[in-house]
Amino acid sequence: MNVPNRKTLERIEGITEYQIDMIRAMISGKYDPCEVSDACDRWVSACYGTPGDISQILRAADDLLNTHGVEHIGYADDRVYNHTRFSYCNTGASYAATLCYDYGRGRWVVAGLDDLRGG
């Protein structure tokens, strides 16, 4: 899995060195998201099946960054049914850079929702 560098993560407004270190450690597999975030641990414990790594990392990052939940953007193409294109930590502002996972490219990115949507 690609790990965003420090400079890329610094595009997230107000992010601290600690938050950068924890996000990079979770993405690289050095830390379990449920050990970093009690909210992630409670969420995973409440799920019937264990959520995937990407979902857990985003949930823990949402807790660390104090954002407003993990959201998803689907494909606009009707032929691609019920597939997520991007998952991201919701900052509450479509222009604000945030941690996102691009399922189409299989990469972590930092971008605003307007950038992800192409406008």
pTM > 0.75: yes or no? yes
Q: What is the DSSP string of 46-84?
A: HSSSPPPHHHHHHHHHHHHHT-S-EEEEE-S-TTSTT-E
Distance (Å, rounded) from C-alpha 47 to C-alpha 13?
Answer: 31
pLDDT tens digits along 48-95: 999 999 999 999 999 999 999 999 887 666 555 557 788 999 999 888
Answer for the pair 64, 36: CB distance below 8 angstroms, yes or no.
Answer: yes
100 beta partners: 88, 109
Which pLDDT score is estimated for 104?
A: 83
Which pLDDT score is estimated for 79?
A: 57
Which pLDDT score is estimated for 114?
A: 82
Whether the per-residue pLDDT at 38 is higher than 90: the answer is yes
For residue 27, which of 114, 116, 101 has the smallest C-alpha distance? Answer: 101
Which pLDDT score is estimated for 14?
A: 95
For residue 108, which of 66, 53, 65 has the smallest C-alpha distance? Answer: 53
Mean predicted confidence (pLDDT) in 12-18: 97
- Locate the domains of the chain by residue range: 6-117
Q: In what order do the strands lie in the sheet with 84-89?
A: 70-74, 84-89, 98-102, 107-111
Tally the residues of the chain: 119
